[in-house]
Amino acid sequence: MRSVFLHSVAAPPLCIQEIRPPPSHHRPATTAQPLPPLRPASSPPRLRSASKTSNPSFVHRPATTA
């Protein structure tokens, strides 16, 4: 009982404190960068892929170059 109580009380605080700081800083930075690039990149590829469905490699080429 003691080991479980100490583990449950000591584990959450340590995990939350260690995980909370990094994610908070990484989330805004990682979401801010991927969101803008992915949004514009997803729009052009979708239109190009729709018009050129027989050329999947062609759609990947511009996406990788951009």
Q: What 3-state DSSP class applies to 55? A: coil
pLDDT at 43: 54
pLDDT at 64: 56
Instruction: Tell me the domain boundaries of the chain.
Output: 1-33, 37-66
Q: Going residue by residue through the chain (66 aa), what tens digit of pLDDT does each one get? A: 555 555 555 555 454 445 555 555 555 544 555 555 555 555 555 555 555 555 555 555 555 555
Contact 48, 62 (CB under 8 A): yes
Q: Which of 47, 48, 43, 41 is nearest to 64 (CA)?
A: 41
